Amino acid sequence: MKTAFIFPGQGAQKVGMGLELFESSAAARTCFEQADEALGESLSELIFKGPIESLTLTANTQPAVLTVSVAALNAFAERSDHRPDFVAGHSLGEFSALVACGAMGFADAVRTTRARGLAMQEAVPAGQGAMTAVIGLQDKEVEAVCQQVSTEEVVAPANFNSPDQIVISGHKNAVERAGAALTEAGAKRVIPLPVSAPFHSALMVPAAQQLAEVLQGIDLHQPQMPVVTNVEAAPNGDSDRIADLLVRQVTAPVRWTDSVRFMIDQGVNTFIEFGPGNVLAGLIRRTERSATVISVNSPDGLDKASQALEKLK
């Protein structure tokens, strides 16, 4: 029986996330303090008190979700020395996964995700981009419709989240045209998402370029266990490839469904989700109903994860 530690991305945030961990775990509390020090501001106060309008700004959301995710992981490490067979993260969550496997220092990850969030926020003027979730169609059907409508404007799959959920991204008008065409093609639901930019699309090239510059100044280390990357849906254990994969991820689709299937094919049957919310747990259950998924974002979640891993032993 194998395990994977997984980490959520943007969209999981809410005011007050991680507060129970902060109050109950010295390791988690240290994590929040280190994030504040790394940025030279009280990110923890924004996380715990809001306002939500500031927390949902991409430049704040990314280091905030990372911090809560790593705080949950560190709180768990106070109880268990369990070493997973794989780590993986959804989009932004890949940075948390890199911290978890020792490939990137936590303070560096906080500063890098702040820079990444700011670059992504500024890459496309407000109102020009959009993202929409498509429920109930296959990958190839969505890809074909996007190709048909993206003549002079960009629209393409951005997140392959589960077998029945794909997110498309690009120019606002093109995304709307694709949404209408996908509804006609039989999509069960087409849901515009409240995001500030068209992430994981070709419109993010300026952000990818800025991230590449930032990563040149970051020390990256050999992962202590394989990282299943968003870009390839395959494990990477080579520190020399990390920066390139992170840069490509900004404009490439997140291949989460294939990543989950890869880990399951390798024998993973237990996934521990560290960070706010339980979005990844839902996506994994849609992909493989037999998988065990435990979300760790509170002391109760820590108990459940510890108990589940004890049973595996």
What is the tens place of the pLDDT at every residue in 62-100? 999 999 999 999 999 999 999 999 999 999 999 999 999
The CATH number, out of the four listed (3.50.50.60, 3.40.50.11400, 1.10.287.1770, 3.40.366.10), of the domain defined by the range 2-123+203-312: 3.40.366.10
Sign of CA dihedral 12, 295, 65, 96: negative
Task: Give tens-digit pLDDT for 6-21.
Answer: 999 998 999 999 999 9
Task: Give tens-digit pLDDT for 132-141.
Answer: 999 999 999 9
Which member of 25, 91, 162, 201 is catalytic?
A: 91
Contact 10, 65 (CB under 8 A): yes
What kind of fold does domain 129-195 have according to CATH?
Answer: Alpha-Beta Plaits (3.30.70)
254 forms bridges with which residues in the sheet?
A: 159
pTM passes above 0.85: yes
Residue 91 bears catalytic tag: yes
Contact 105, 148 (CB under 8 A): no
Q: Is the peptide bond before 198 cis (omega within 30 degrees of 0)?
A: no
Task: Give tens-digit pLDDT for 114-137.
Answer: 999 999 999 999 889 999 999 999
Alpha-carbon span 26 to 228, nearest angstrom? 29
Alpha-carbon span 129 to 113, nearest angstrom? 21
Task: Give tens-digit pLDDT for 23-66.
Answer: 999 999 999 999 999 999 999 999 999 999 999 999 999 999 99
Task: Give tens-digit pLDDT for 200-230.
Answer: 999 999 999 999 999 999 999 999 999 999 9
Task: Write down the domain spans for the chain.
Answer: 2-123+203-312, 129-195
Contact 103, 242 (CB under 8 A): yes
Which member of 44, 69, 96, 200 is catalytic?
A: 200
Q: Which residue spans within the chain are E strands per DSSP? A: 2-7, 86-89, 129-135, 155-162, 165-171, 189-192, 227-228, 235-236, 268-274, 292-296
Residue 200 bears catalytic tag: yes
pLDDT at 310: 87
Q: Is 103 helix (H, G, I), strand (E, B) or coil?
A: coil
